[in-house]
Amino acid sequence: QSVLTQPPSASGTPGQRVTISCSGSRSNIGSHGVNWYQHLPGTAPKLLIFGNSERPAGVPDRFSGSKSGTSASLAISGLQSADEADYYCATWDDSLGGVFGGGTKLTVL
């Protein structure tokens, strides 16, 4: 059971917009910025969004993040087959340290 709650799966067709939610509590999302990672099997995870909504250099603006209270979400617009991957939210928890969501497997139909 992960400290941050994500749906285990999400799906969409090419060109669609999908969102992935991440729910936490006051000691983690409520107190710290949320980061999102994209992980393709067999590769190193990649930072996609940091500080709730900022994109590192090189990340397309199709990816966006937001936070409200103790929840956050990742939106992917103009879905592409290359976006098929596992997505994780993460933040710091005042008691537990680093915490990740359980991950959401995104399927592009």
Which of the stretches 18-26, 58-66, 72-80, 84-92 binds another protein when contact is defined by CB under 8 A? 84-92
CB-nearer residue toward another protein: 18 or 37: 37
CA distances (Å), 18 to each of 13, 31, 62, 78, in order? 9, 26, 11, 9
Residue 59: Cβ-neighbour burial (10 angstroms; 0-12, 13-18, 19+): middle
CB of 23 to another protein, least distance (A): 15
CB-nearer residue toward another protein: 96 or 109: 96
CA gap 87, 27 in Å, rounded: 22
Is 37 among the residues that bind another protein (CB under 8 A)?
yes
Binding residue for another protein, selected from 22, 74, 79, 90, defined by CB under 8 A: 90
CA gap 90, 36 in Å, rounded: 6
Interface residue list for another protein (CB under 8 A):
2, 32-35, 37, 39, 43-47, 50-51, 56, 86, 88, 90-92, 96-103
